[in-house]
Amino acid sequence: MDTRSSPLILPEPVVRERKLNAAVLAALAAEGLDPWLCQFLARRLDEPVRLADLTNPSLAAIADPAAIPSMDRAVERIVRAVTTGERVVFACDHDMDGTGSAAVLWCAFTEYFGVPRDRVHVVTSHRLTEGYGVTEPVVQRILNLKPTLVITADKGSSDEERIAVLASSGIDVIVTDHHEIPSGGPPQSAYAVVNPTRPDSSYDPHICGAGVAFLTMAKVRTALVSAGWRSQIASLGGLLDLVAVATIADCVSLLPTTSHANRVFVKRGLDLINQRRRPCWTVFSEDLQGVVDAEDVAFRLAPAIAAAGRLDWAESGFRFLISSTAQEAAQYWRVLQEENELRKQIERDLRRQALAIASNIERNSLVIYLEEGHPGVHGITASRLVEAFGKPAAIFSPKGAGARAGKNGAAGPGAVENIRLASGSFRGVPGLDVRRAIEQVSSRHPDLVISFGGHPAAAGATIAIPDVEKFALAYEAAVVEQLGSERLRPVIWNDGTLAPDVHNLVGLDALRAFGPFGRGFERPSYEGSFEILESRVLSKGAHLRLSLKHGHTVVPAIWFGAADAVDVHAVRPGSKTRIVYQLADNTFRGQRSFQLSVRYGTITPR
């Protein structure tokens, strides 16, 4: 199907202003905070929080992870493996969270606990040919290494059958994970299952896989110190940079009243990144040419690291993170950037196809099958559909599509057991539990869903290709049951208007003091009317560089992707524009300047 010649008509977004929480507003005003900052926070927080807890969240205030079920048993077994010189395998996922988890475990063992590198091994599954979890090929690679202990990270909670195979071979398996536990309970064959989402856990369930791995290693460190394993073991706080990257990339909540731990992980981790504590951060910071914040990690660092696992093996991302020299890190960074550029091109092609197909779907959920798709970029493409249509989206293509020739024991697409299977990635909208919707389909149609897993906001599933339309209807029913039948549309949220005198670096830095920003605690966006003084088209017509007048204030602005919303060549000086924008900066040749970053806008000709 050639979708390039068809004009694409996307739904017009609804612009809405976030509501203020009066109690939060009053509490912050009483602490003497500037009114515009009080208003921003009162549109985010669901209850009052002390300013000090927002700007300087305490590591000591993180709840003791001993409260996670099975933690003590896991720690005891890991300590035994460390002190007796056992061979240990880390079985980690192939995404950014899994890669970060692998780096956390590796560094904890080798740099902090003093375990020789030849005693620890990392095994991941190949995203395209093997899929998520402790798969059969992963089990075989583990068996070939002959370990006595396997520690999973960011997976394992749904893998009882394969864990049982390892256990029957005399290998103890400790699961560290954050994905939801299946209805049958934690895998019974595992030695221990450390997962804060367990039904019998009261611990913060919003922590990512690397966060769970870090907390487990922190308890192991304490136990090793008590056992006198080494005269001194440094605090594992030095690993929070790795945890921060994984936390940001996995889109877990950063709302202070939801997860204090996540905010500490990210804030402390970003400090370490900007101190360039690892060679990889030196390389990335030089490439970025500025202070690294959560958005830089989310949109520039994490996609590049994850690109290797999206298109092939995740090893390059892992090696980049643990590089011992800047030269080594730079070598892997070049590889990751090349992979990321290829990923971008694949994504652009698939996004164009997916948007065209989605524009003809009248349901409140979008389930799309692309015969020539690429499972490695399904999640990203599904997210773009959610943004464009305001509907939960899933994209399927043949399992193994896009896989390269065999490498490291993995096979190309021709070796997939059943080429008539389709793997899909799901992304949701506020108010929808995606995983629960898929589980509901699976429960009501037992023969429809072959496997699935994930989170409330993002999940994955495997179905038979002939069942795609049947699944789409069943999924629509599950979505409507949660959200209702009212037509869904894309929504652009804003935080009201902002006085002109805050449009500067002083205002931006005052705002940034309340970061990190991310899911549940998004950077504020404001709405306003401006006069266009100058307009310049960038990147072959894709973006706009603007000079805008707001009251008596003139501010520069950058509008990435403007061509998707307006005719960039028709924008003239003297035109009026109403935009939703964010305060931002730009660093060029070491000089930092203020600018607006336009998220959405309309143009009124002069």
**Each residue's pLDDT tens digit, 57-85:** 998 899 999 999 999 999 999 999 999 99
Mean pLDDT of 202-208: 95
Backbone angles phi, psi at 596, to 5 degrees: -95, 145
- Per-residue pLDDT, averaged over 267-286, amounts to 95
The top-scoring range by mean pLDDT among 179-183, 287-291, 330-334, 415-419 is 330-334
Interval 203-225 mean pLDDT: 97
Beta strands 421-427; 393-398: pairing state: antiparallel
* Over residues 293-317, mean pLDDT: 77
* pLDDT tens digits along 504-532: 999 999 999 999 998 899 999 999 999 99
What is the per-residue pLDDT for 5?
A: 43
383 vs 131, residue with greater confidence:
383
Instruction: Please tell me which residue, 152 or 430, carries the higher pLDDT value.
Output: 152
Who has greater pLDDT, 599 or 406?
A: 599
Q: Is 417 a residue whose pLDDT tops 60?
A: no
- What confidence category does residue 412 fall into, taking pLDDT thresholds of 50, 70 and 90? very low
The whole-number average pLDDT for the span 18-34 is: 95
Distance (Å, rounded) from C-alpha 462 to C-alpha 41? 41
Q: What is the pLDDT at residue 346? A: 84
Name the band, by pLDDT with cuts 50, 70 and 90, for residue 159: very high
pLDDT at 413: 38
Q: CA 311: distance to chain centroid?
A: 17
- What does the pLDDT look like over 142-156, one tens digit per residue? 999 999 999 999 999
Q: Which domains are seen in the chain, by residue range?
A: 59-328 (3.90.1640.30), 361-489 (3.10.310.30), 492-604 (2.40.50.460)
What is the DSSP-derived secondary structure letter of residue 518?
B
pLDDT computed for residue 442 by the predictor: 95
C-alpha closest to that of 305 among 290, 292, 320: 320
What is the structure's pLDDT at 552? 86
Number of C-beta neighbours around residue 359 at 10 A: 17
Residue 424 near residue 460, CB atoms below 8 Å = yes
| Average model confidence (pLDDT) across the chain | 90
Q: Determine the average pLDDT of the residues in 372-398.
A: 90
Sheet with 149-153: strands ordered across? 120-124, 88-92, 149-153, 172-176, 192-194
In which band, very low, low, confident or very high, does the pLDDT at 185 lie, cut at 50, 70 and 90?
very high
Given this model, what pLDDT does residue 239 score? 98
Q: Which of 24-33, 393-402, 539-548 has the lowest mean pLDDT?
A: 393-402
Does the pLDDT of residue 319 top 60, yes or no?
yes
Q: In the predicted model, what is the mean pLDDT of residues 386-397?
A: 95
The per-residue pLDDT for 419 is 47
Q: Residue 376 — pLDDT band, cuts 50, 70, 90?
A: confident
187 pLDDT higher than 50 = yes
* Total count of residues recorded for the chain: 606
Alpha helices in 250-373 (DSSP H): 260-274, 279-288, 294-296, 302-311, 315-322, 326-358
Calpha distance 104→86 (Å, rounded): 19
Pairing of strands 192-194, 172-176: parallel
pLDDT band at 411 (very low <50, low <70, confident <90, very high): very low
Task: Write phi, then psi, for 95 (nearest 5 degrees).
Answer: -90, -170
Q: Which residues contact 441 (CB under 8 A, 6 or more apart)?
A: 448, 449, 471, 474, 475, 478
pLDDT of residue 127: 63
- pLDDT confidence tier of residue 129, bands split at 50, 70 and 90: low
Band (pLDDT 50/70/90 cuts) for residue 309 is: low
Per-residue pLDDT, 410: 40
- Specify which residues 192 forms β-bridges with: 174
- CB-CB neighbours of 12 under 10 Å: 10
Q: Is the pLDDT of residue 402 over 80?
A: no
pTM of the entire structure? Answer: 0.87
Longest CA–CA span in the chain (Å) reads: 77
Q: How many CB atoms lie within 10 A of CB 227?
A: 12
| CB distance 453 to 460 below 8 Å | yes
Q: Is the pLDDT of residue 122 over 90?
A: yes
d(CA 94, CA 117): 21
